[in-house]
Amino acid sequence: MITLYTAATSNGLRPAIMLAESGLSHIVKKIDLEKGEQRTPEFLAMNPAARIPVIVDDDVGGEKLVLTESLAIVIHVAEKSGVGLPTAAVARARVFEAAASAMTDVYGPFNGLFHLHHGGRTPPSQIAQGFDGLLKDALGRVDAKLANAEWLAGDFSIADIVLYPTLGRLETALKRTYPTLENLQRWAKAMAARPGVKLGTSLAGRP
């Protein structure tokens, strides 16, 4: 059985629709974000970031899985059910391409604009501060993960590869460093020392 904790936002609808399409048996529990139900101790035990969506899947190869991040949930449900994710390599790559673009090229700018409009008369500098806060929170969560781990998710993985270039840009483009995040700094040094990271970076034209 899969239990989904969610709300009717775009991040929240993604797994709700995927689960409904999958045919897997599941329960949907609505979280009232206005009332702050995402900050109850029970919810925080599932996701310390205090965000929907979250699933609890009772049986993943005999283990229980608590999973956050709408795209990760959608992919997990697709893999489990066989719905929405082809197994043929080219078709699968095309699906990942379109899904990645939906999350970054479409959802990214949408989310920025949503905050601007939602902010009403909030001055842009305050909205920028809000984004800065979100970024610091996100990096803080990564730093906390890295306190007890060498890499972001188990062994060195695509998660490390996906995050690393953005951090580099943070320092060069935004002139922003987060010196207090020591685990993140240690991880960035370990990434920079990897032959593959050095080679890829130089071949792409960054000194």
Ligand X SMILES: N[C@@H](CCC(=O)N[C@@H](CS)C(=O)NCC(=O)O)C(=O)O
List residues binding ligand X (CB under 6 A): 9, 11-12, 33, 38, 50-53, 69-70
Q: Smallest distance from the beta carbon of 75 to ligand X, in angstroms?
A: 12
CB of 12 to ligand X, least distance (A): 6
Count H helices and E strands in the chain, helices first: 9, 4
State the Cα–Cα distance between residues 85 and 164, nearest whole angstrom.
Answer: 27
Closest distance between ligand X and the C-beta of residue 56, in Å?
Answer: 15
Q: How far apart are CA 140 and CA 101, in angstroms?
A: 25
Q: How many CB atoms lie within 10 A of CB 60?
A: 13
User: Which residue number, 74 or 197, has a Cβ lying nearer to ligand X?
Assistant: 74
Please say which residue, 53 or 139, places its beta carbon nearer to ligand X. Answer: 53
Residue of 100, 175, 178 whose CA lies nearest to 133 = 178
Closer CB to ligand X, 15 or 191, in the complex: 15
Rounded Cα distance, 107 and 105, in Å: 6
Dihedral, 180, 129, 50, 191 alpha carbons, nearest 10: -40
Collapsing DSSP to helix, strand or coil, 47 comes out as: coil
Q: What tokens does 96 get?
A: 């990942």
Neighbours of 138 (CB within 10 A): 12
- Phi/psi of residue 3, nearest 5 degrees: -110, 125
Beta carbon of residue 149, minimum distance to ligand X (angstroms, whole number): 20
Residue 12 or 143: which CB sits closer to ligand X?
Answer: 12
Task: Supply the minimum distance, in Å, between the C-beta of residue 36 and ligand X.
Answer: 7
Q: How far apart are CB 111 and ligand X at their closest, in Å?
A: 8
- Give the residue with the Cβ less far from ligand X, 11 or 22: 11
User: For ligand X, which is the closer residue by CB, 53 or 188?
Assistant: 53
